[in-house]
Each structure stands twice: as C-alpha cells, then as structure tokens.
Structure 1
Amino acid sequence: MAPEPPAVALGRDDLRAVTGYAVACARQALALFEHERPGDQRPRAALDAARAFADGAERTRVLRDTAWAAQRAATAAREAGLPAASEAARAALAAAGAAFLHPLATATQVRHVLGSAAHAARAFELSAGDDPAVVACHLERARALAGPVVVDVLRRYPAAPPGGGRVGELVRLLDASLR
C-alpha cells in the first residue's frame, strides 16, 4: 500500500479564494451554455452556489448537489451534439468542485484549482472552431484573474499531471504560466 501524500496547509480563506477564482473563470463561458440550452439553469445554479461559498456561506450539500446537476447538464449538452456548451457546463461543475479542494499534495488537485479555467477556455476554443488564438486569449484572461492567494495555493501542490486530453493540456499550460 502506497503511503498517503503529505498534507497541504489549506484554510477556509484559501478555499474561498480558489472557489471565487474558479467562478470568475467559469462565468465567462456560461453564456455559451445558456445560448444553446436556454431553459437549463443547472450550470448557473452551480456557479451561484459556488459564489455564495466564496462570499462566506458554509460549504453545504447544495454545493455538491448543484455541481452534480451541472455534470448532468454537461452530459446532456454533449449528447445533443453541443460540445462547447458541454465544456461550459463542465466549467461550472469545476467551479463548484473547487470548494472541495483536498489538502493532499497530489498533482491531481491542481485540476480543482484550474479546471474551471481550462474547461471555459476549451468551450471558447470549440465555439471558435478550434482557433488557437481564442484559447490563448482565454488562458491569458484566466492567468490575470488568479490573485496572489490562488497562485500561492497552487504552488503548494505538485505540477499538474499528464493526461486529461485537451482540457488536461490547458490545465498544464495555465499551471506552468502561474508558477
């Protein structure tokens, strides 16, 4: 049995800062989802719950429930042939999931910090026909949104791991630019 990774110092204020960052990144792509799926409020609800936590509310079951609902919205959009909308919903899911960043020094935790930014950038990339200039612009915006607390938290973890397809690649690009 492998030893448990060391703990990372992670306070409630750190979690709130990371979640606020994740919401700011994901909210940019929400319009892509709502344009394609105007009656589906699940990603918006996940972002609202995550924003409430970032602003001082407790971490409750509502946060988890809205995150899972955003996942179902992403799946429904993908199944409807709307990949950009699906990625935008995944950005909302990742924003809500940021509140559950684990204090374990594992590279996979980096996705909790940067996943919403990467999914949002991928959503914009897909909506622009895979234009690399579009993704570069959105990654730069995500980098600019990362305040000192977010960067400090990110640096407590190992670098982002390999894998994860295009979104994993975007996580690694953003991770490298913030360290």
Structure 2
Amino acid sequence: MGSGDFDLTTSELRAVVRFASDCAQELLPCFEAVAPEDSRPREALDAARIFADGAPRSNLQRTAAFASHRAAKGVSDETAQLAALACGDAAAAAYLHPFAKASQVGHILRAAACAARVTELRTGTTDGDTVGVLADRAAPPLPEILRRYPAASPGGSRVSQLMSALDSAIRNPN
C-alpha cells in the first residue's frame, strides 16, 4: 500500500473496510427512512463492499465517501446524519494510511462509533454495553491493526468519545 511508518497489507485494509461496512450497514435504514430518494449512503456502502470483496481500491471509494458525507448534511434527523456519515466512513476506510497518527483511527472506528451513538439515541442510555458489543465484533486482524496507531483522543463530540472508548476496548479486551 506504499511506504509509511509500518506495513499495512491490502488484506488488512479489506478487513478494516469490512468491519466499518458491517457497522454502517445496520444504520442505513435510519437514513433511508428519512431520505428514501437519496442513494448516496447506499452507494458508499456498495463502494466499500466492492473493495472489501476484492476489487482494487479506486476513486469510487473516495467519491462515494464524500457524497455520503454531503448527504448527511442534507438531513436534519441526527440518526439519519450518523447513518450517512457511517456509510461514508466505510468507503473512506479504504484510504486508511500506514502512518502512526491518531487521526487515522477514525478510518477504522468512526463508523462503529456512529453505530454506538445511534443506539444511545434510540435507547436513551449511555451504559457502554453497545461499545462492548461492537468491540467484540472487531475480529482479528482488526485489533492488531489498531494497535499500530496511537490511541484515539476522546475529543469533544459524543461520537469522538465513543470512538475513544471503542479504541480502548478493542486494544485492551477484558
């Protein structure tokens, strides 16, 4: 995948995209219920899956990610926004770089953090069970890949805080 601070194989990159896509897939109905005529999040998920299933990484993933993120700005419902962001993040995960920067962790975990936030909004709870469930879904090689990067900062937004909690739970399973 090019030179960086460490190695990141295409197979590992596909595993990251698959994890992000699986998290985002569950949210897609939240967006489509609010904006059924807008196919951009679904197209982003499709682009992510195309790469995860073996096609070369291409501009398709990048443009679909940007389009899905723009779709998030076009709806006012928070769960729909998070769903579109997660779908875009799944496609953008194909552009995870092997640079030891905490900002890269978003490519790995932001879709999952959006899924955790949607669960919080739906249930009205912030008990952390969702983080544990999502962390348990992070099958190898995802934890090993994540450990190559610096830890995610908790940041100021709830999604950033959830991403940091997911990062910690995946890196340090009980």
Q: TM-score, normalised by structure 1?
A: 0.88
Contact 2:131/2:169 (<8 A) preserved: no
Cα shift readout 1:75-101 (whole Å, capped 9, x = no counterpart): 001xxx211100111011111111100
**Residue 29 of structure 1: how far off its partner (Å):** 0.9
> Where does 1:1-179 land on structure 2 (aligned, <5 Å)?
7-77=5-75, 81-128=76-123, 130-133=124-127, 136-179=128-171
* Alpha-carbon distance in 2 for matches of 1:102, 1:57: 18
* Alpha-carbon distance in 1 for matches of 2:28, 2:17: 16
Q: Is there any run of 5+ residues in structure 2 with no aligned partner, and where?
A: none
Q: Is there any run of 5+ residues in structure 1 with no aligned partner, and where?
A: 1-5
Question: Root-mean-square deviation (CA), in Å?
Answer: 1.4
* Alpha-carbon distance in 2 for matches of 1:164, 1:104: 23
- % identity of equivalent residues: 45
Cα shift readout 1:34-73 (whole Å, capped 9, x = no counterpart): 1111111111110111011011011111111111110111
* Alpha-carbon distance in 2 for matches of 1:172, 1:14: 21
Contact 1:86/1:123 (<8 A) preserved: no
* Alpha-carbon distance in 2 for matches of 1:93, 1:143: 20
Contact 2:20/2:90 (<8 A) preserved: yes
